[in-house]
Amino acid sequence: MARISRDHDFATIARRVVEQAVGEHLDGKPLEDPNAGKDPKAVQRGRAGGRKGGRARAQQLTREQRGEIAKAAAEARWKRSR
């Protein structure tokens, strides 16, 4: 879902959460379809590619490359926790 710039106070966020949970706006209007105007087959292909993309990339990397990526990720996690 694309993020729209709005006020980000507690009441606005709470209202959006309730609307998403209910499936419609609080005044009864339906929520906007994020895929409106898009080709349904293209949306389906995009989702399929996104689901398998990381796994396919990992299979193409060498053991050393995967190790370097894992080390960089661990360093980033430790850096945040300090």
For residues 56 and 80, state if they share a domain.
yes
Which residue in the block uniquely carries the two structure tokens 């990526």? 69
The token pair at 42 is: 């293209």
What distance in Å separates the CA atoms of residue 47 and residue 41, rounded to the nearest whole number? 10
**Based on the domain organization, do 7 and 26 belong to the same domain?**
yes
Q: Clarify whether residues 54 and 80 are in a common domain.
A: yes
Cα 30 → chain centroid: 22
**Mean pLDDT, 10 residues at a time, the chain of 82 residues:** 67 89 90 87 86 86 94 92 68
In this predicted structure, what is the pLDDT of residue 7? 65
Distance CA 67, CA 8 (A): 39
pTM above 0.75, yes or no: no
Q: Provide, for the chain, the percentages of residues in helix, strand and coil under a 3-state DSSP scheme, each rounded to the nearest 5.
A: 65, 0, 35
In which domain, by residue range, is 56 found? 40-82
The pLDDT value recorded for residue 55 is 84
Enclosing H/E stretch for 50: helix 40-60
Domain count, the chain: 2
DSSP-derived letter for residue 61 is S
Q: What pLDDT does 4 receive?
A: 62
The reply to whether 15 and 46 lie within a common domain is no
